[in-house]
Amino acid sequence: LTEKLQATFKRMRSQGRLTADDVREGLRDVRFALLEADVNFKVVKEFLSQVEEEAVGQDVLDSLTPAQGVVRIVRDHLTTLMGGQVERIKMASNPPTVIYLVGLQGSGKTTTTAKLAKMLKQQGRQPLMVAADIYRPAAVDQLQALGQQIDVPVVFSPGLSPVQLAQEGWQKSRQLAKDVVLVDTAGRLHVDETLMTELVEMHEALPAHETLLVVDAMTGQDAVRVASAFKEKLPLTGVVLTKLDGDARGGAALSIRQVTGLPIKLVGSGEKVDALEPFQPDRMASRILGMGDVLTLIEKAEQSLDKDEIEERAKRIGTKDFNFEDFQAMLGQVKKLGPLSKVMEMLPGMGALNKYKDQVDDKGVDRVEAIINSMTIQERRKPDIIDGSRRLRIAKGSGTTVQEVNRLLKQFNDMRKLMKQMKAGKKRGMPKLPLK
Ligand code: GDP
Ligand code: MG
């Protein structure tokens, strides 16, 4: 899936410039990506019409890197749809704060209860946990073991009902001077009346400041139905998406947010008690799109590229004046972005150089730079003067071999030729070199 999407954008990139049709076609593939990531169909439809509108409005045809513009719009929209920013757990101004964890069996309630207790403890809170899943003795044991592990007291008393246990939890928090009561509740394999009634009664006996629905990210579309059903009966305040360390793409996050309006507050990323993190919409957007690397590069490019420098140098590409000084300067800019093989796929106009991609492992780049550094300024400006004895000197100076120097010179000449051809092509109305 990821590969598919990357292929799409690569196709867009390699054309240099986007037509409106390209945008539409690209978004068609984004649509498949979202559906495959298990995003709700209606959500996808709405999303795409918004993005298309915005993309067209932004005159993507004229931007320097249209494909990047589209990626960014897609990503930004996804981020906004999922709430835009990190949502905090609300704390009562008058402690104790009461937090319920509800959800289906196996979704991760008990684990998340302990994870959250640990997280709050690290933030200086004094939590206490209530084992209110009385139907499965193992569940109580599980919470008690976790409580020992993180050194947080667990309230449980055989014979008490879940409602009574919730009240007991509140009493104990007063006695022990605890400021957060975390209630781990029972789940069922499916949403049912008994489960809901019990949870409602617990909320009546001990009102909640937060009621977090715990949802397994792997359940995809099912998660949306579960969330809707729980929201009908309970004052849900947020969602915890668990098991994101698995290969779920996280489409559930977008769907749940869109369909129920509930903020995703936390994500579980492992079985250990510290594998809980605040939900970050921008990171989830990248994950759903499966383009994390590409988006990181776009951000880095915005921050660190000296576009003037690149454009200035690029003007000389395809003229006989293009020389090793230009090459060196461009390499310097490009290297700021990260591993070169990846960067080359990204940069506008570098598509033409993709056939060199395999030759540019990053150690190789360092050696290329060393070779250029060992040239005199004269040699950099007029590479044609580099004869046999100069090659030997350069090789020695740079700690490389004559073969390597020869290879670089040959590649450089090939590249110059190629770019000259492309430039000539432009005059005949062929695709422009997007680096101008
Ligand atoms: P409950 O029935 O809702 O209380 O679910 P549990 O807390 O007992 O968790 C069910 C299973 O999912 C356990 O094996 C947990 O270790 C596992 N689990 C919970 N959260 C995560 C998570 O974020 N990542 C992974 N990999 N496993 C998790
Ligand atoms: Mg449990």
Q: 300 pLDDT band (50/70/90 cuts)?
A: low
Alpha carbon distance 258, 34 (integer Å): 14
pLDDT digits (tens, 9 = 90+) for 39-68: 878 888 888 888 887 776 655 433 345 556
pLDDT of residue 151 exceeding 70, the answer is yes
Q: pLDDT: is 321 or 354 the higher one? A: 321
Helix ranges (DSSP H) in 127-161: 137-150
Q: Which atom of ligand 1 is nearest to the CA of 113?
A: 7
pLDDT of residue 98 exceeding 80, the answer is yes
pLDDT of residue 7 exceeding 90, the answer is no
Q: State the residue for tokens 């981020």.
A: 79
Q: Which pLDDT score is estimated for 196?
A: 95
pLDDT digits (tens, 9 = 90+) for 167-187: 999 999 999 999 999 999 999
Q: How, if at all, do strands 210-216 and 97-102 pair?
A: parallel
185 Cα–ligand 2 center, Å: 7
269 lines ligand 1 (CB under 6 A): yes
Mean per-residue pLDDT, 15-21: 56
pLDDT of residue 426 exceeding 60, the answer is no
Mean per-residue pLDDT, 183-211: 94
pLDDT digits (tens, 9 = 90+) for 358-373: 555 667 778 888 899 9
CA 154 distance to own-chain centroid: 36
> Among 294, 291, 360, 290, which residue's Cα sits nearest to residue 330?
360
273 Cα–ligand 2 center, Å: 14
Q: Which pLDDT score is estimated for 432?
A: 35
Q: Which residue's CA is the nearest one to ligand 1's atom 6?
A: 108
pLDDT digits (tens, 9 = 90+) for 311-346: 677 677 667 778 888 888 777 766 666 666 555 555
Among all ligands shown, which has an atom nearest to the Cα of 146? 1
The proportion of the chain whose per-residue pLDDT surpasses 90, expressed as a percent, equals 43
Alpha carbon distance 250, 254 (integer Å): 7
Q: Which pLDDT score is estimated for 62?
A: 39
Classify the C-alpha dihedral 64-66-68-72 as positive or negative: positive
Q: Which residues are known binding-site members?
A: 103-110, 184-188, 242-245
Q: Which pLDDT score is estimated for 4?
A: 57
221 lines ligand 1 (CB under 6 A): no
User: What domains appear along the chain, each with residue ranges and CATH number?
Assistant: 2-85 (1.20.120.140), 97-278 (3.40.50.300), 305-427 (1.10.260.30)
Q: pLDDT: is 12 or 391 the higher one? A: 391
245 lines ligand 1 (CB under 6 A): yes
Task: Using CA atoms of 244, 131, 101, 266 in order, give the dihedral in degrees to the nearest 10.
Answer: -40
Q: Are the C-beta atoms of residues 55 and 73 closer than 8 Å to each other? A: yes
Alpha carbon distance 296, 282 (integer Å): 11
The DSSP secondary-structure symbol of 159 reads T
Among all ligands shown, which has an atom nearest to the Cα of 111? 1
Q: Which pLDDT score is estimated for 116?
A: 98
Q: Which pLDDT score is estimated for 50?
A: 81
Q: How, if at all, do strands 264-268 and 180-184 pair?
A: unpaired
- Complex ipTM more than 0.95, yes or no: yes
271 lines ligand 1 (CB under 6 A): yes
| Amino acid at position 107, single letter | S
The proportion of the chain whose per-residue pLDDT surpasses 70, expressed as a percent, equals 74
> Among 249, 321, 266, 220, which residue's Cα sits nearest to residue 109?
266
pTM of model > 0.80: no
202 Cα–ligand 1 center, Å: 23
pLDDT of residue 201 exceeding 50, the answer is yes
Q: Which pLDDT score is estimated for 371?
A: 92
111 lines ligand 1 (CB under 6 A): yes
Q: Which residues are known binding-site members for GTP?
A: 103-110, 184-188, 242-245
220 lines ligand 1 (CB under 6 A): no
92 lines ligand 1 (CB under 6 A): no
Mean per-residue pLDDT, 230-241: 96
113 lines ligand 1 (CB under 6 A): no
Alpha carbon distance 368, 408 (integer Å): 7
Classify the C-alpha dihedral 257-260-265-269 as positive or negative: negative
Alpha carbon distance 160, 213 (integer Å): 24
Q: 429 pLDDT band (50/70/90 cuts)?
A: very low
3-state secondary structure labels for all residues of 195-240: HHHHHHHHHHHCCCCEEEEEEEHHHCHHHHHHHHHHHHHCCCCEEE
107 lines ligand 1 (CB under 6 A): yes
Q: pLDDT: is 156 or 258 the higher one? A: 156
Among all ligands shown, which has an atom nearest to the Cα of 274? 1
Residue 157: phi and psi, rounded to 5, are -150, 120
Q: 23 pLDDT band (50/70/90 cuts)?
A: confident
Q: Which of 148-152, 333-337, 411-415, 425-429 has the highest mean pLDDT?
A: 148-152
Q: Which pLDDT score is estimated for 22?
A: 65
Q: 26 pLDDT band (50/70/90 cuts)?
A: low
Q: Which atom of ligand 1 is nearest to the CA of 104?
A: 3
Q: How far is CA 191 from CA 18, 219, 431, in A?
A: 48, 14, 58
